[in-house]
Amino acid sequence: MNTNLLYIPFRQSKPINLGDELREVIKSDYFQPPSTFETDLLLVNNLRSKISNLKNETLLLESEALLKEYFICLQSIRKKFPDDCVEFGWYSTLTSFPGGPTKSRSLKIEQLNIVFQLGSTYSQLALLESRHTDEGLKNACAYFQLAAGCFDYIISAVKLENEDHISSSSKIHIPSDLQFHTLDCLKQLMLAQAQETIWQKAIGNPSIKDSVIARLSIQASEYYSLALENANTSDFIKIEWTNHIAIKKFHFKAAANFRMATLSQDTFEYGEQIAYLRVAAETCAMAKNYKRYVNNFVIEDFEGLTDTIQNTLRISEKENDLVYLKLVPNAKDLKPLIGTSMIKLTIPEFLLNPDVKSSTIFKALLPHVIIQVAQAFHERRENYIREKFIDPTQALNNILVKFLADRGLPASIDSIQQPENLPKSIIQHSQEIVSLGGTRIIEQSIQEISELSKESRRLIDECSGRLQLEANEDEMLRRKFGTQNWNKPSTHEATKDLIEKITKMSNYQEQAKSGDNLVALKYQELKPFLEIYCGGYESLIDFIPNSSYVALEGDISIIISDLRDALNQVIKMEEKRKEFLSGLEMKVRDHNILPLALEEYKANQDKMYDDNGNINPRAFEPVYERHLKIFNDDLKVLESSKKDQIKLENEIDTLNNRFISEFNSENNQSQTKRKEVLQTLETVYAKYLEVISNLNEGSKFYSDFIAKGNGVLKECDDFLYHRRLEARDLELEINNRMRNPHLNQVRLENELTTTTSQTNSEIGELREIEPEVQETSQKPRLYAPGAKGVWNPNHGIKFD
pTM value is 0.65
Q: CA 427 → CA 194, 219, 535, distances in Å?
A: 89, 92, 11
How high is the pLDDT of residue 665? 55
Distance CA 531, CA 535 (A): 6
The identity of residue 21, as a single letter, is E
Spatial separation of the C-alpha atoms in residues 782 and 145, rounded to whole Å: 9
Closest CA to 7 of 123, 86, 88: 123
The arrangement of secondary structure in 12-16+87-347+748-774, i.e. its CATH architecture, is: Alpha Horseshoe (1.25)
Contacts for 487 with CB less than 8 Å, ≥ 6 apart = 730
Report d(CA 744, CA 525) in Å as an integer.
82
pLDDT tens for 688-743 read: 988 988 998 899 899 999 999 999 998 998 888 888 888 887 887 787 777 655 43
**CATH architecture label of 438-543+680-737:** Up-down Bundle (1.20)
User: From residue 264, how far is each of 258, 296, 458, 791, 793 by CA, in Å?
Assistant: 10, 32, 70, 21, 26
Contact call for residues 532 and 434 (beta carbons, < 8 A): no
Q: Where are the alpha helices (DSSP H) in 129-179?
A: 134-164
CA dist., res. 117 & res. 147, Å (int): 10
Between β-strands 12-13 and 99-104, what pairing exists: parallel, antiparallel or unpaired? Answer: unpaired
Length of the chain: 800
Chain-centroid distance of CA 60 in Å reads 33
Fold agreement (12-16+87-347+748-774, 356-406+551-664): no
The amino acid present at 592, given as its one-letter code, is N
Backbone torsion region of residue 340, taken as left when φ is above 0, otherwise alpha when ψ lies between -120 and 50, otherwise beta: beta
Classify 414 in phi/psi space as left (phi over 0), alpha (psi -120 to 50) or beta.
Answer: alpha
Secondary structure class of 88 (helix, strand, coil) = strand
**pLDDT value of residue 728:** 82
pLDDT of residue 80: 87
B/e letters for 322-340, b = 16+ CB within 10 Å, e = fewer, are: eeeebebeeeeebeebebb
From the list 540, 548, 515, 537, the residue with the least C-alpha distance to 682 is 540
Residue 75: which residues within 8 A CB-CB, separation 6 or more?
111, 354, 356, 359
Residue 387, class by beta-carbon neighbours within 10 Å (0-12 exposed, 13-18 middle, 19+ buried)? Answer: exposed
What pLDDT, on a 0 to 100 scale, did the predictor assign at position 424? 84
3-state secondary structure at position 762: helix
The C-alpha atoms of residue 302 and residue 281 are separated, in whole angstroms, by: 12
User: What ranges do the domains of the chain cover?
Assistant: 12-16+87-347+748-774, 356-406+551-664, 438-543+680-737
Contact 25, 84 (CB under 8 A): no
List 347's β-bridge partners, or say none. none
Q: What angle do CA 81, 348, 58 make, to 5 degrees?
A: 90
The per-residue pLDDT for range 166-214, each reduced to its tens digit, is 444 445 678 888 889 999 999 999 999 999 999 999 998 889 999 999 9
For the chain, residues with pLDDT lower than 50 are 166-170, 742-759, 763, 768-800
Residue 96, beta-bridge partner list = none
* Among 479, 436, 512, residue whose Cα is nearest residue 698: 512
CA 521 to CA 543: how far, in whole Å?
23
**Dihedrals phi, psi of 295, to nearest 5 degrees:** -55, 145
Q: Is the distance from CB of 621 to CB of 377 less than 8 angstroms?
A: no
Chain centre to alpha carbon of residue 632 = 40
Cis peptide before 410 (omega within 30 of 0): yes
Tell me phi and psi for residue 90, to 5 degrees: -130, 145
Contact (Cβ atoms closer than 8 angstroms) between residue 430 and residue 540: yes
Contact between 492 and 484 under an 8 Å Cβ cutoff? The reply is: no
For domain 356-406+551-664, the question of CATH label 1.20.120 is answered with: yes
Cβ-in-10-Å burial (0-12, 13-18, 19+) of 48 comes to buried
Q: Are 785 and 196 in contact (CB under 8 A)?
A: yes
3-state helix, strand, coil in the chain (%, to 5): 75, 0, 25
Distance CA 388, CA 393 (A): 9
Task: Provide DSSP, 313-342.
Answer: HHHHHHHIIIII------GGGSPPPPP---
Three-state secondary-structure class, residue 798: strand
